[in-house]
Chains A and B, each alone.
Chain A
Amino acid sequence: MWSLSNIAANIDQWLNANMSPTWALIVEMVIAGVAVIGLFAALGLVLVIMERKVSAWIQIRLGPNRVGPKGMLQSLADTLKLLVKEGMTPGGADKLLFNVAPFVAMIVAMLLLAPIAFAKDFQLWDLNIGVLYISAVSSISVISILMAGWASNNKYSLLGAMRSGAQIVSYELSAGLAVLAIVVLTGSLRISDIIQAQENGWWLFKGHIPVIIAFIIFIIAVTAETNRAPFDLAEAESELTAGFHTEYSGMKFALFFLAEYVNVFIVCAIGATLFLGGWMPFHIGNWHAFNGVMDWIPSSVWFFGKTFFLIFVIMWFRWTFPRLRIDQLLNLEWKYLLPISMFNLLLVTLIAIMGWHF
């Protein structure tokens, strides 16, 4: 049967049969790099059109419906427009930092695609500290926002960047603690181990209430980390016009825009991997017949289905909630989420030690 892992294995075999192992590895790296760039662009386009359609559905309107069938090519047309626009650098801006910032945002998003398991045995880099790598690299994204805000020579950008700095640094703690809950249960930081541990049921269902709490905290924290409403203070358009990317135009703006959406995909993919079993089909204990039926659905469908469900939830937040104020945002993290998630981690540890989970 054709699956993503079969295709990858076939390419690997064919390359190794025709080249020396070193060259085969180099060619594979190039293919992987191109694939990541392609995925970055494709995900950005798909998520933008998805967001516009979801928001239109929530807001009782039609959304884009002119370019392509049902408007599905609208984001492609928008990207083309942004590509041919002049990339302006405002006077008084720090030219180097201003022009580098969008690429930092893009590179972070691309780096984060590496350890994600898109399907069974289909993963770019299954490193043994996968979860740690994700938390470490994702925190670099704040630097790109701070760079953009500082270099723009614009007060709105500066305020937005400072807000974003406070916000991302705080919410990383809760996100990290929520992720740790699963690491404690699994006993491994490796993504493939975490998925394998969910073979007889996803952690969300196996880990009792503490894991559900961790999941909710994770969703709230990553929504804040990706600067999405109701935590979009960094670009609060009614307060700071466009926040840290006020001065950006053309492709430089598009890179920020695409990076935001790819980041949303990544955090949802991580949430799906840790709590909802990643590509693992829905299995119930030892109901072998039921599990067999579920295995018929390809693993990539499971992965993307779960991820896009979480993305939909995050979009749903954006189009229903008003925005928090900056002090309320920090209160929520330091006074509520952080203590709860610390206590919750203790509970999860207790469950893991006593072996109370299913």
Chain B
Amino acid sequence: MFEEVGTTTEGDLIINMGPQHPATHGVLHLVVTLNGETIKNVEPHLGYIHRSIEKMCESLTYRQFIYVTSRMDYLSAHINNHACAMCVEKGLQLEVPPRAQVIRVLMDELTRLASHELWWGAMAMDLGAFTPFFHAFREREVINDIMEETCGARLTMNYMVPGGVMHDLHPNFQQRVKDFLQLYKRKIHEYDELVTGNIIFQNRMKGVGIISPEDVISYGCTGPVARGSGVSSDVRKLYPYEIYDKLEFDEVLEDGCDSFARYMVRIREMQQSVRIIEQLIDNIPDGEFQAKTKAVLKLPKGEFYSKAETARGELGVYIVSEGGTTPYRIKFRSPGFSNLSALNHLVKGGKIGDLIAAMGTLDLVIPDIDR
């Protein structure tokens, strides 16, 4: 599966794409071996934004370390926090109140929507169309405003805590989410008109960046990348957490295996998120928003694992506890890292333009890869 590194021959052109490059959306460094315009090999170099979050978490208490994880996949901050909070709750054997569960799911789905919106704009921008970015941000801003009102922050929310959520919902929350859904449904057709139906876009996406279901599994790809190849991998369906098993939504599967399939998975996933939000927004139960917990949390000795479906795939949180107030070891299984590892497989033999398009459909967030 792994190619030998450095198989360059005379006449190959080696380009260092990044760490500062407009299409890598962060400090990803790709060493691209080219034969003319054709890609022979792509080798990602990581570590430019490594902040050793896992190590930092070992010196922080179980309440504190959750806040650091917002900075991993900053576009799915809520879901990162959620996965960590669930892992701690598993250790403490805490029961989360129903109201908190619903709030968490609502926030997760809003985050997923916002993340997919940003991906849609950035992906179109990678392909040379600037306008979709602004159209995507028009809707994303509304979500950010809703988040700001309830959580106090727009990007790194730090809203989930062990046992529930930090504050209750803002009184305006329900109304503003409903307004947003109205707006979103009015504008969603623009996405298809502007990008999906465009002939140039379809030609750029269809039949390039192909990865078979077997390769998806062997590379460990998850999320929309796996579902674009028809591999069922939605944690919300396979290992339901919170109230996902009581909700009606479909796992989006496409069998195109190409860039366009991955694109369509995300577009259709946005509609599923809207569906989930619609089911919950009028049915938020009353009650506590946070379970009663001790001031200092201590996990019993042992190993705890939980996972959640972020906008990019499966995020696993693995905590080893020695019984103290801080984790002995913490490990995150981030979706971006596995998805990036398939990049070479996706683009080998393609053109430079295919590399950019395929990278766009992987929806990479570099701090999520490096951590």
- Chain A interface residues toward B at CB < 8 A: 55, 58-61, 155-156, 159, 163, 229-230, 232, 236-241, 319-328
Contacts and interface: CB of A to CB of B under 8 A. Distances in A.
B201 A322 contact: yes
Nearest to B133: A59
Contacts of A236: 128, 353
A155 B200 CA distance: 27
A322 B356 contact: no
A239 B39 CA distance: 13
Contacts of B194: 320
Given A237-B22, A241-B21, A324 B200 contact: yes
B134 A322 contact: no
B129 interface: yes
B354 A238 contact: no
B237 interface: no
Given A60-B138, A230-B200, A238 B356 contact: yes
Given A236-B128, A321-B129, A323-B204, 11 more contacts: A59-B134, A60-B135, A60-B138, A232-B128, A239-B23, A240-B352, A321-B128, A323-B200, A326-B351, A326-B352, A326-B353
B126 interface: yes
A238 B23 contact: yes
A321 B202 CA distance: 11
Contact of A58 (B21, B126, B131): B131
Nearest to A328: B203
B198 interface: yes
B28 to A, nearest CB: 13
B217 interface: no
Interface residues of B, number: 31
Contacts of A232: 128
A212 B351 CA distance: 34
A55 B128 contact: no
B128 A238 contact: yes
B195 interface: yes
A51 to B, nearest CB: 12
B148 to A, nearest CB: 21
A240 B18 CA distance: 11
Interface in B267-314: none
B256 to A, nearest CB: 18
5 contacts: A232-B128, A236-B353, A239-B353, A323-B204, A326-B37
B193 to A, nearest CB: 10
Interface string B109-146: 00000000000000011111111011100100000000
B94 interface: no
B129 to A, nearest CB: 4
A322 B129 contact: yes
A238 B125 contact: yes
B131 A59 contact: yes
B48 to A, nearest CB: 17
Contact of A241 (B22, B37, B353): B22
Contact of B130 (A159, A241, A319, A325): A319
B124 A322 contact: yes
A324 B15 contact: no
A162 to B, nearest CB: 8
B13 interface: yes
A159 B352 contact: yes
Contact of B198 (A155, A163, A321, A328): A321
Given A241-B22, A326-B37, A230 B128 contact: yes
Given A230-B200, A322-B195, A328-B203, A239 B131 contact: no
Interface string B194-215: 1100101101100000000000
Interface string B209-235: 000000000000000000000000000
A199 B50 CA distance: 70
A326 B21 CA distance: 20
A238 B135 contact: no
A238 B351 contact: no
A60 B356 CA distance: 26
A55 B204 CA distance: 23
Contacts of A320: 129, 131, 194
Nearest to B123: A322
B12 to A, nearest CB: 11
A326 B351 CA distance: 8
